[in-house]
Structure 1
Amino acid sequence: MTQPEIPLQREAPETGPEVVVVTGMSGAGRSTVGNVMEDHGWYVIDNLPVMLLPDLLRLSESREDPVVPESEQSRIGIVLDVRAQGFETLTSSLERLRERGWRTHLVFLDATNEALVRRFESVRRPHPLQGKGRLLDAIQQEREVLADVRTSAENVVDTSGLNVHQLSRKISPLFMSQSSERLRLAVLSFGFKYGVPLDADFVFDMRFLPNPFWVPELRSHTGRETQVSDYVLSQTGAGEFIDGVETMLEPVIAGYLRENRRYVTLAVGCTGGKHRSVAIAEALASRLGSSQIATFVVHRDLGQE
């Protein structure tokens, strides 16, 4: 009988660091889940020998030369496949970690034989256990090896009907922290004379506003300074532009969050990237920051002139 899929949930740790082990059938999406964890700020290690788990975490707790960066020491992800050395000791190793105060969770990814066959055929790679035998035989052998681990898992995720993006959306709530749920929005000012940023998702042209360069007392100042910022924002169309961008981005940001996209760059340009674009970028970043959006400003060409 097929074990029913358990709803995706993870008890938030009250105290102590947390370890999530992701394993399951080859081709079921372990790499995708590892990428999602990294996107949400987890420190992810791929195929660490199981017997080294206690040593890794002991070193991570060390105040001197920790293995895991300090900012990520409380959230560690281990992605394992059946070939990992000492895999058969996984359950007992996790139990020992719990005894030491670590909060551990086991996530198992599964898929039907038909789905796994299609995936291996599409990438034209052999199954890790296939050798010179048949693909279906290797899949069945792996199921038998993983049977006990699957039973021990708190979350079993059937990925059969999911593509990469659908799996990312489904698995993301399991690994989100309050900070990782927010979209990171970079507001980038630039000068058109130096080229349009290659990494911009949105580009806006501020050359419809009067140029402070032609005001002698403002020419040597930048859009980060009050006198220039006040001049730019007081011009006809400046306030309407900022209001319009905010309104336009509302459905876009909501869609990005649904699609699990977490990084967006909004670029605003003027002639030299010193006055208008800088002032507008600062104003947009201040306006767009919210509980769902973490904004930061980059002035690419400030100082070029």
Structure 2
Amino acid sequence: MNDQGRSSEAQTTDRLELLLVTGMSGAGKTAATAALDDIGWFVVDNLPPSLLMDLVTTVTTRTDLRRVAVVADVRGGVFFSELRGALDLLGEQGIRPTVLFLEASDEALVRRFESARRPHPLQAGGRVLEAIEREREELASLRVAADVVVDTSLLNVHELGARVRAAFSGPEVGLRAIVVSFGFKYGLPVDADMVADMRFLPNPHWVPHLRVQNGTDVEVSDYVLAQPGAEEFLDHYSELVEMVSQGYLREGKRFVTLGIGCTGGKHRSVAMTEALAQRLRKQGIETLVVHRDLGRE
């Protein structure tokens, strides 16, 4: 191929958005790809990784598709082991797919497989929990390298769809953020890139008329934001996110999940999450709010 041909191909592939959807079996890839399809992505499920380069070539030379999502997971069996080499080959052509990794707790995955009455792809007659553990080991390097990690343990299909649409619905012009409120007593959000602890603020739980309310209620929000250090935290934390966002974008990371925690995920973390999201939006960062533990006892 001559220089002009290579230049034309490079320009064409530069316009292609390639998304690799992977993660734990049972973590919601079907719901995630349905959401992608709804917002205009062309989805290819369970493609052998060795055909990734062929797919990119076909799409860029024979179609006008510009947003392609490929699902690759352990269902591919021996073919899945070829994924690392296929990604390296794409990298040599200057193509770096965005990686969406779907995660869930062992308990959630076991419950889903038992409910569906279907075996895990790696089960082979053994225990489903052993298959899940083996799958985690096989996917560890992809999990670390992922651009977006979504923990679906507590999400229904509609909530998962909303998370996917928020991350991948439009042109990528800057950083996109998901701000998750949570309760430390229920565990850290495993998909959080940064975590902040709101337990330095007085707890509205100990104010009788606020106890039954939550951080989305005006009285609770006003109480939390009026406490010493609350506004200062929001000032500094939003500045920190704005600062690191430039580094994230330079490194090709366009999505960030921020965890804002308090004891139970009902009052302080919820109020501060809502307030932080408002500030991030004013900075031009597209932001989705998720209250993970709101409503839990």
CA deviation after TM superposition for structure 1 residue 235, in Å: 0.6
Which of 225, 230, 253 aligns to 2:222? It is 230
Task: Give the SS at the match of 2:180.
Answer: strand
Q: Gaps (5+ residues) in structure 1?
A: 11-21, 23-31, 40-67, 98-102, 106-122, 129-158, 170-175
Q: Does the 8 Å contact 2:274/2:289 carry over to 1?
A: yes
Rounded to whole Å, the distance in 1 between the matches of 2:248 and 2:184 is: 27
Match of residue 7 from structure 2: 6
Rounded to whole Å, the distance in 2 between the matches of 1:296 and 1:161 is: 31
Q: Gaps (5+ residues) in structure 2?
A: 21-35, 45-50, 67-80, 98-167
Match of residue 38 from structure 1: 19
The aligned length equals 187
User: Once structures 1 and 2 are overlaid, which stretch shifts more, 233-242 or 188-197?
Assistant: 188-197
Match of residue 72 from structure 1: 40
Q: Which structure has greater helix proportion?
A: 2
Which of 54, 57, 77 aligns to 1:81? It is 54
TM-score scaled by structure 1? Answer: 0.50
Match of residue 96 from structure 2: 168
Letter in 1 for 2:96: S
Q: Does the 8 Å contact 2:176/2:287 carry over to 1?
A: yes
CA deviation after TM superposition for structure 1 residue 198, in Å: 1.3
Letter in 1 for 2:7: I
Letter in 2 for 1:71: I
Task: Give the SS at the match of 2:290.
Answer: strand
Q: Does the 8 Å contact 1:181/1:292 carry over to 2?
A: no
* Mapping of residues 17-166 of structure 1, within 5 Å: 36-38=17-19, 69-72=37-40, 81=54, 94=62, 103=64
Match of residue 236 from structure 2: 244
| Change in CA separation of 1:237 and 1:185 when aligned onto 2, cut-off 3 Å | same
Rounded to whole Å, the distance in 2 between the matches of 1:179 and 1:211 is: 40
Higher Rg = 1
Task: Give the SS at the match of 2:96.
Answer: helix
Rounded to whole Å, the distance in 1 between the matches of 2:203 and 2:281 is: 27
Rounded to whole Å, the distance in 2 between the matches of 1:275 and 1:162 is: 46
Rounded to whole Å, the distance in 2 between the matches of 1:272 and 1:297 is: 17
- Identity of matched residues, %: 45
Rounded to whole Å, the distance in 1 between the matches of 2:65 and 2:220 is: 54
| Change in CA separation of 1:271 and 1:161 when aligned onto 2, cut-off 3 Å | closer
TM-score scaled by structure 2? Answer: 0.51
Letter in 2 for 1:294: E
CA RMSD of aligned residues (A): 4.3
CA deviation after TM superposition for structure 1 residue 289, in Å: 1.6
Q: Over residues 137-183 of structure 1, what are the superposed CA-to-partner deviations in whole Å (9 max), with x where a residue is unaligned?
A: xxxxxxxxxxxxxxxxxxxxxx999669x6439xxxxxx99633332
| Change in CA separation of 1:251 and 1:221 when aligned onto 2, cut-off 3 Å | same
Rounded to whole Å, the distance in 1 between the matches of 2:268 and 2:283 is: 27
Letter in 2 for 1:72: G
Q: Over residues 78-106 of structure 1, what are the superposed CA-to-partner deviations in whole Å (9 max), with x where a residue is unaligned?
A: 96639x9xx8xx97xx4xx7xxxxx579x
Rounded to whole Å, the distance in 1 between the matches of 2:2 and 2:92 is: 22
CA deviation after TM superposition for structure 1 residue 223, in Å: 0.2
Which of 272, 286, 295 aligns to 1:294? It is 286
Rounded to whole Å, the distance in 2 between the matches of 1:237 and 1:261 is: 30
